[in-house]
Structure 1
Amino acid sequence: MPSRQDILNAKILVVDDSPDNIELMEEILKEEGYTDVSSTMLPEQVCPLHREHNYDLILLDLQMPGLNGFQVMKGLKEIEQGGYLPVLALTAQPSFKIAALEAGARDFISKPFDLLEVHKRIHNMLEVRLLYKELAQYSRAQQELALHDALTGLPNRRLLEDRIETALQHASRNHHKAAVMYLDLDGFKAINDTYGHAYGDEILKMVSQRLLSNSRKEDTVARLGGDEFIVLLGDIHCLADAQGPAAKLVEALSEPFFINDLTLQLSTSIGISMYPDDAENVTDLISIADYALYEAKRGGKNRFCANGSAARQAAQAVKPQVPAVTPSPAPELAQHR
């Protein structure tokens, strides 16, 4: 629930063609303690000002030369796009009150002003407006959580599949290709078993950062769960455009991971599938990349493999920079820095 201070700090715009009315309303608001009050006598400025400042309340005179209050509200509706229209109509015409509400105003204040009515209606409307904004922010935050992995902050499978579908549509329109790279960490279970899940979680976060820093900004790096990740490459032309990035990721993840006083080492295996060579839909592309990942694991790990119709070839081995972690005793897994 918004606090009184939140309400007093709300952004308010007063719109009236009478300088006396503006001066009076500004004085009323100032005496009540409102701290962020602006005004204009030009109705055509209201929409541009609202786009820039996103006011919490617009005190809008309905009868003005040029654009009247009803025309201004029509423009404000296009800005809010179905959201809460923060307009408190000011009118001396009783017949305009219902018309104002039907046009989108949330409430009205009658002229001449009754001080108690002005204070109460402004306070109540700001309370509702700020509560609406809090709920909208909460809804956006929940949506973000639903689409991203809680540990790493990367897109989860739900968002990934949407990104892949978009990339396929773009590739089809532009006669390009796209690639799905399915990654699995070699030796990750040994780290979890030996040092615990806290260290495993730190490894996953560090892996995520390395994947991001070694990928293009336009690529999508996602976590499927556990130690499985997918990197989506869009706007490429051939298999070689995916093999180069795959080799780069294999090399990047073979570098040591430093956590507290330990130096941990592991590697990654990658399976690659290509659109439209190997498949033309999201599910099949992921499945084929998963199978290619299995082939890379079977071929010795710490390498990538493209096993679809785009590349009927053996796994492409990458010379290890450091030995991969295996479930061996702790001294072989880590050393003190």
Structure 2
Amino acid sequence: MPSREDILNAKILVVDDSADNIDLMEEILREEGYRCVSSTMLPETVCPLHRQHCYDLILLDLQMPGLNGFQVMKGLKEIEQGGYLPVLALTAQPSFKIAALEAGARDFISKPFDLLEVHKRIHNMLEVRLLYRELAQYSKAQQELALHDALTGLPNRRLLEDRIETTLQHANRNHHKAAIMYLDLDGFKAINDTYGHAYGDEVLKIVAQRLVASSRKEDTVARLGGDEFMVVLGDVSSLSDVQGPAAKLVEAVLEPFFINDLTLQLSTSIGISIYPDDAETVEALISIADYALYEAKRGGKNRYCATSGKAPQAALDEARTATSR
């Protein structure tokens, strides 16, 4: 729940065509302890101001010359994409109260003002508004967690597959190719077994940072789990466009790892598949890159490898069962 401090620090805008009403409302708010209060007598400025400041509460007079309160609320609805309109309507017309709620206002205050009513309605509405924002931020954070690896912060397999699909669609529209690089760390198990998982986790975080630093901004770097990573490249013309980036990643991982009092060394093997040369679906491209990775391991590790054409299913099965990563 929002604290009292959060509520008193909420951003409030008072909108009224009467200077006396504005002065009165600002005095009421400041005496109650609200610290971020501003006002305007120009209804046409409300939407631009809200875009700029994102108010937690707008105290809006319904009867004003030029734009009335109902027209202002219509404009505010276009800004508040989440559907919560932070408007507390001010009106002396009893018939306007229900109309204001139907137009999107969350509550109303009657004129002339009753001090107790003003305090209670403003406090209640701010409490709900701030709680609504907290829940929205929590939901967004949970969604980010569901799509990203908790240790490295990289996209996880769920987000990766969506990124690959998007990259393939873009490549198809622009008559380009795309590439998948499947990475596995050579010797990572020995680090975990010898020094413990805490050191292994630090290695994985450093590897993630190096892969991102060695890739283009538009490329996707993801962690599949364990010591497996994947890099997705769009807008390539041929395998030769991928070999340079692959060699750069191999060199980046080969640099020493300085963790606490230890200097650790390991390398990476990379398997490459090309869209649409090797396959045209996400699953098939990953499988072929997986087989190419097995070939890189079998060829001596600390290298990259690309297969030509689709790898036979038997070879893929052999790769998954025979290799020990």
TM-score normalised to the size of structure 2? 0.94
In 1, distance between residues paired with 2:233 and 2:12?
Answer: 46
- Following TM superposition, where does structure 1 have runs of at least 4 consecutive aligned residues deviating by more than 4 angstroms? none
Partner residue, 1:4: 4
Partner residue, 1:39: 39
In 2, distance between residues paired with 1:300 and 1:48?
Answer: 63
In 2, distance between residues paired with 1:291 and 1:75?
Answer: 56
Find out whether 1:292 has 2:300 as its counterpart: no
Partner residue, 1:279: 279
In 1, distance between residues paired with 2:37 and 2:234?
Answer: 48
Assess if the C-alpha contact under 8 Å between 1:185 and 1:268 holds in 2.
Answer: yes
Partner residue, 1:57: 57
* Runs of 5+ consecutive residues of structure 2 not aligned to the other structure: 312-323
TM-score normalised to the size of structure 1? 0.91
Find out whether 1:262 has 2:262 as its counterpart: yes
Once the two structures are aligned, what percentage of the paired residues are identical? 87
SS of 1:125 mapped into structure 2: helix
Assess if the C-alpha contact under 8 Å between 1:239 and 1:310 holds in 2.
Answer: no
Paired amino acid for 1:143 = Q
Assess if the C-alpha contact under 8 Å between 1:16 and 1:61 holds in 2.
Answer: yes
- Summarize deviations over 1:12-52 as a string: whole Å, max 9, x none: 00011111111110011011110000111111111111111
Partner residue, 2:22: 22
In 2, distance between residues paired with 1:285 and 1:310?
Answer: 9
Assess if the C-alpha contact under 8 Å between 2:279 and 2:310 holds in 1.
Answer: no
In 2, distance between residues paired with 1:40 and 1:95?
Answer: 25
Q: CA deviation at 1:309?
A: 2.4
Assess if the C-alpha contact under 8 Å between 1:203 and 1:257 holds in 2.
Answer: yes
Matches within 5 A, 1:1-337: 1-309=1-309
In 2, distance between residues paired with 1:285 and 1:71?
Answer: 54
In 1, distance between residues paired with 2:83 and 2:152?
Answer: 32
SS of 2:268 mapped into structure 1: strand
- Summarize deviations over 1:99-157 as a string: whole Å, max 9, x none: 10011000000011111100000000000000001111111110110010000010000
- Summarize deviations over 1:225-273 as a string: whole Å, max 9, x none: 0000000111111111111100111111111111111111110000001
Assess if the C-alpha contact under 8 Å between 2:288 and 2:310 holds in 1.
Answer: no
Note the aligned Cα RMSD (angstroms): 1.5
Partner residue, 2:320: none
In 2, distance between residues paired with 1:66 and 1:172?
Answer: 52
In 1, distance between residues paired with 2:275 and 2:60?
Answer: 55
